[in-house]
Chains A and B, each alone.
Chain A
């Protein structure tokens, strides 16, 4: 068996006296789609944010492609990397947020080429070419001169996905990508994510869309009170949950 792309062991994170993650283990193979389910406050978002070091874990570690994220091992201790090194690691991990977080003062095209030009060192016209292809791929060809505020929520989220893809990531993180959307706009975003999954992208998706999990996920992970309580193929976890909390959650959302 080949080494997993994402390798997480014993991840612990507290905010003040509240322990959000209580030792999470997770392995994600290249090309795998993992959907993380769980009640609110179970630590799903925090887990995702530890994977690109937006949150600093208190214990445990994250490796992506064999590389320790956010820390350097020396003399039996983990030392936090300098900001520039963390920045470099984040460049190959795409992230999509619940609130889209597009830059509202820049056009769609400028949103897409900012990081490729600044971080990957592409020329502006190269980056613009890549950006137009990606906009076409998410169904927004021709909207490159619009400001984000002029787009619907679903369109903004698709731009956000294209912006993350413009960095040519080896891993995509989705933090409740459809939770802020009107119900009729959810489908267009999920359809883009479905296409992305079938193109072989490694994805970790925090969502409440059980249908998406059933249909697209290779693995469903159920998180409760900072622990993985259930993990396996969607057919098993969604249809025959063994853990009582998972049963209660699924009964409530289905």
Chain B
């Protein structure tokens, strides 16, 4: 094919071409997108600052009030407790699902199927209302004598119902996350470890699990963050978490938007901290792999 438009190009010498540098791409689309984004951001900041109905002074007053901080603490420990309990159960369920025992496999499958099918709010209400289904609970021999009996309503207070329901929910989802991670480790790793004479527990702990972590951590970070916010559903059964504490205040002073902003800002703050933590955990488990960890902020190169 001949170059019609610029016949002089044929006259270029090798030296000229060797001396030439590769020009930087102009990236017009990127500058255009930046301009649009800047305008939209400016509009957002402007309205947030100038619309008096945001009432930032009220937000400031309540941001660190005792009631809000107490709710924040409850949200934090509830999240921590259901994640810890849920992942413990979930690890067991994942191990059952991967075992050779067909009964254990079926039980695990059935549990995950059932719990994943129920909305967490419905699960929460079921446990809270368990007393209407079983007024008394007892410990004893099946179909035989009973040793201890309690009134269900006394046992399943709001906070206990919240703990149980959310733990069961986390267990079902974390079981699938962990199972996926374990399956992502090539079978050859286990075989090599077996051929070396390593025991089953040691193979799991030292060979398989560390290699499953890069697949487990991102999904679990996601799960943790979504559970931090999902704990707010306990407000429907009057457990005083971050959101319900804000609601209690605005039910008295009718400052709905500022108090929702207080809760929102705390959720944003906590999520930010967790996201940064997740970045470092992922980097730790990326050792020995070629996967690169780009910078999070502007200027990270693709």
Contacts and interface: CB of A to CB of B under 8 A. Distances in A.
Interface in B193-247: 193-200, 202, 206-207, 210-211
B192 interface: yes
The majority secondary structure among interface residues of chain B is helix
Contacts of A105: 210-211, 285, 287-289
Contact of B195 (A54, A83, A114): A54
B206 A52 contact: no
Contact of A106 (B188, B199, B202, B288): B288
B157 interface: no
Contact of B191 (A97, A102, A104, A149): A97
A102 B195 CA distance: 12
A110 B196 CA distance: 13
Interface residues of A, number: 32
Contact of A101 (B189, B200, B206, B288): B189
B52 to A, nearest CB: 56
B197 A91 contact: yes
Contacts, number: 78
A147 B288 contact: yes
Nearest to B213: A105
A119 interface: yes
Interface string A45-64: 00000001010000000000
B279 to A, nearest CB: 19
B49 to A, nearest CB: 49
B290 interface: yes
A112 to B, nearest CB: 10
A149 B198 contact: no
A184 B290 CA distance: 24
A167 B196 contact: yes
Interface string A65-88: 000000000000000000110011
Contacts of B189: 101, 103
A87 B197 contact: yes
A188 B197 CA distance: 27
Contact of B197 (A99, A101, A104, A167): A167
Interface of A: 52, 54, 83-84, 87-88, 90-95, 97, 99, 101-107, 114-115, 118-119, 147-149, 160, 163-164, 167
6 contacts: A94-B195, A99-B186, A103-B189, A105-B287, A107-B288, A115-B196
